[in-house]
Amino acid sequence: MLDETQQDVLRMGSLVEEAIAKAVDALTRSDITLADEILRFDDYIDDLNVLIETNCLNLLALQQPMASDLRVIAAMLDIVIDLERIGDHACDIAQITKNLAGAPPAKPPVDIPRMAAKAREMVRQALDAFANRDAALAHAVPAKDDEVDRLYRKIFRELIELMIREPASINRASNLILVASYIERIADHSTNICERVVYTVEGVPKNLKRSVVEFNAAIAQADEMLHGHEKASSE
Amino acid sequence: MNTAGAPRASDVEATLHERFLALVQAAPVGVIVADARGQIAAFNPAAAAILDVAAERAIGRTLIESVRNFELDRRIAAALRQGADSDGEIANVANERRLRVRVVPLPRADGLRDALAFIEDITELRDLAAIRRDFVQNVSHELRTPLTAVKIMVETLQGGVGSQAQASFLDSIARETNRMITLVEELLDLARLETGKLQLTLAPVDLGELLRKAGETQAARAASLGIELSVRAPDAPVTVLGDRDKLMQVVLNLLDNALRNTPSGGRVSAGVRVADGAAELVVDDSGVGIPADALPHVFERFYVVDPSRARNKSGTGLGLAIVKHMVESHGGTVRAESELNAGSMFVCRFPL
């Protein structure tokens, strides 16, 4: 069952990647039919989330897994939360496409599809790292978040300038800022997935967003404090 | 071999299996074989190319672990568990391709099933269908609009109007008719260019002199639009071997495009020079510019960057496509450079 549950996590990941691609495609082409399809699609993602959670809990209760199996199950319970949130963000983008349906046609800034492509690549590679237990890849993926953040800041600035220049664009521009923020969150979620993969493989929690040196120093300090307290108690 | 000299059943089966695998490897379409446990037993080079997944990453793993396509995984699972046959189109999000997939169950002697999937990349086919659809839609729209206007004006004239209104309507009918004729001629030119059937009458042509003439014909229009039009050509001839009428069309189309996309108060300048062993025709403007994602498409037929920005919406969207084909028919190249809200520059290079 552990193996099949891992396959289900990858299935959920595949659905989520497709949802992101379709959501941005629907936005770019103002395709309401596709936007509706994404909103219905989300039910499959949520169903898989429930199935995986249930299977993980059953594994914990019935098989009392140890060591790496235990870490894998703990990781999966966290990963599906991130995948489910990514699916929700795809739905949010689809909903914005529907909200903007009546507005005058205008293409979203070219950087939004570019940002979405990078975020989707991060999700894919995070799941590749999970599928292959590839800690090196899991360490490398979060660095791409810098480029996503840079694009987000650029889009934000351009849309604010647009709103100042053309007040009639405020409705559309503010919605596109939301779209960019959802994509930025998708990239953050993929970094979370990478952290779970690193934990699964290396057995030590790591925060890949902060510098490794800083975070490990904090862990070492906490560890010292804990052992110092235990030693003092035993004496 | 058995004692009678005939091959053993197991040998025959082994030979057939080898031949089957050789067939799979050589197939021009993607072929994936999944065993009863859902693990990939065969993954041919065509499948690896279509799905962008190396065979060694797929063999021995499940489809969702290696290829990570939910729909393909679902169809293979349905073939393995329920013996379901399927045939249809799916998207492969990982490399943005559209695929035609046929999945069939392969019953085994032990009662279990394997699954066989055939995969074809139909992305180009779908893109061509979309281009054809858009083309038909655009041509219909470009013809229907002036035809509707002419119809209304004719009906009004038939109903009887005063002589002043009559003159105005007849002018409009003439203008719309010319617009339709221009569209049809440009379409025919484009068709002839694309099929290599355009006849060029080659002779030495002074590009500088051509540009000066073209500038004179556009001067009044530029003035009425409040745009400063300047033309620079050296006194010494810059001679290329070409069809004078077709080269004039190139110059006029580029000037027309620049004037359409430059607001009042802006400038359009055109020049001819010799650079790096070739004759260059350069047209640049201080207009609205072209977004980076649109730049690769500006020479496509009917491509309009943003219809709401074009000053004069009577453009056919074919001008730059014709420029590209005409220039290339003369052994030349054309490129566009642009910055949004800062203007554009088009450079045509011709062999001397």
B14-43 b/e (C-beta count within 10 Å ≥ 16 → b): eeeeeeeeeebeeeeebbbbbbbebbbbbb
**Domains of chain B by start residue, with CATH:** 9-121 (3.30.450.20), 123-198 (1.10.287.130), 199-352 (3.30.565.10)
**Is the minimum CB–CB distance between A120 and chain B shorter than 8 Å?**
yes
What residue type is A10 in one-letter code?
L
* Nearest residue, CB atoms, A124 vs list B94, B96, B306: B94
Q: How many domains does chain A have?
A: 1
Put simply, whether B69 touches A (Cβ < 8 Å) is yes
Residue A216 included in any domain: no
Q: For the residues B96-113, what does the mean pLDDT come to?
A: 92
Q: What CATH number is given to the structural domain containing A58?
A: 1.20.58.220
Lowest mean pLDDT among A89-93, B188-192, B241-245, B306-310: B306-310
The nearest alpha carbon in chain B to A129 belongs to B65
pLDDT value at position B221?
87
State whether residue A154 sits within 8 Å of chain B by CB: no
Residue A126 lies in a domain: yes
The average pLDDT across B130-141 equals 77
Summarize the confidence of residues B90-119 as an average pLDDT.
92
Residue A223 belongs to some domain of the structure: no
Query: What percent of chain B is modeled with pLDDT above 90?
Result: 43
Does any domain span residue A234?
A: no
If you average pLDDT over residues A186-191, what whole number do you get? 95
Q: What is the mean pLDDT of residues A202-210?
A: 70
pLDDT of residue B47: 96
Q: What is the pLDDT of residues B30-47, one digit of tens each?
A: 999 999 999 999 999 999
Q: Which helix (H) or strand (E) holds A165?
A: helix A145-165
Own/partner pairs, B309-315, CB within 8 angstroms, 24+ separation? B309/B261, B310/B260, B310/B261, B311/B225, B311/B260, B311/B261, B311/B263, B312/B260, B314/B179, B315/B256, B315/B260
Its pTM stands at 0.69
Query: Tell me, what's the pLDDT at B194?
Result: 72
Question: Is B94 in the A-facing interface, judged by CB distances under 8 Å?
Answer: yes
| pLDDT, averaged across chain A | 85
Determine whether the interchain pair A14/B306 forms a contact, defined as Cβ–Cβ distance below 8 Å. Answer: no
Model pLDDT for residues A31-49, shown as the tens digit of each residue: 899 999 999 888 989 999 9
Answer whether A131 sits within 8 Å of B93, measured CB to CB.
no
Q: What is the residue range of A183's domain?
A: 2-204
Q: What is the mean pLDDT of residues B160-169?
A: 82
The three-state (H, E, C) secondary structure of chain B, written as one string: CCCCCCCCHHHHHHHHHHHHHHHHHHCCCEEEEECCCCEEEEECHHHHHHHCCCHHHHCCCEHHHHCCCHHHHHHHHHHHHHCCCEEEEEEEHHHCEEEEEEEEEEECCCCCEEEEEEEEECHHHHHHHHHHHHHHHHHHHHHHHHHHHHHHHHHHHHHCCCHHHHHHHHHHHHHHHHHHHHHHHHHHHHHHHHCCCCCCCCEEEEHHHHHHHHHHHHHHHHHHCCCEEEEECCCCCCEEEECHHHHHHHHHHHHHHHHHCCCCCCEEEEEEEEECCEEEEEEEECCCCCCCCCHHHCCCCCCCCCCCCCCCCCCCCCHHHHHHHHHHHCCCEEEEEEECCCEEEEEEEEEC
- Which positions in chain B touch A21 (Cβ < 8 Å)? 91, 93, 96
Q: Is residue A147 part of a domain?
A: yes
Does B252 have pLDDT greater than 50? Answer: yes
B116 or B20, which is more confident? Answer: B116
pLDDT tens string B266-321: 999 999 999 888 999 999 999 888 877 778 788 887 666 655 544 444 456 778 88
Instruction: Please tell me the predicted confidence (pLDDT) of residue B306.
Output: 58
Instruction: Please report residues of A whose CB lies closer than 8 A to that of B40.
Output: none
Q: What is the maximal distance between C-alpha atoms in chain A?
A: 76
Residue A213 counted as domain residue: no
Q: Which residues of A touch B338 (CB under 8 A)?
A: none
CB contact under 8 A, B93 and A15: no
Specify if A94 maps to a domain.
Answer: yes
Closest in A18, A104, A107 to B93, CB measured: A18
Option in A14, A110, A131 nearest B293 (CB)? A110
B192-238 per-position pLDDT tens digit:
777 777 778 889 999 999 999 898 888 888 988 899 999 998 888 99
**pLDDT tens digit sequence for B187-199:** 887 777 777 777 7
Q: What is the pLDDT of residue A214?
A: 54
For position B311, what pLDDT does the model report?
42
Chain B residue with the nearest C-alpha to that of A133: B65
In sequence order, the β-bridge partners of residue B268 are B229, B285
Is residue B89 within 8 angstroms of chain A, CB to CB? no
Query: For residue range A50-65, what is the model confidence (pLDDT) as tens digits?
Result: 999 999 999 888 887 7
Q: For residue A111, is pLDDT > 70?
A: yes
| Min distance B224 CA to chain A CA atoms (Å) | 28
In a domain? residue A173: yes
Model pLDDT, residue B299: 87
The closest alpha carbon to B80, from B100, B55, B108, B44, belongs to: B108
pLDDT of residue B310: 46
pLDDT > 70: what percent of chain B? 94
Q: Tell me whether residues B94 and A18 touch, CB distance under 8 A.
A: no
How confident is the prediction for chain B on average, in pLDDT? 86
Q: B120 - beta bridge partners?
A: B100
B127 pLDDT more than 90? no
Range name among A142-146, A162-166, B342-346 with the lowest pLDDT average: A162-166
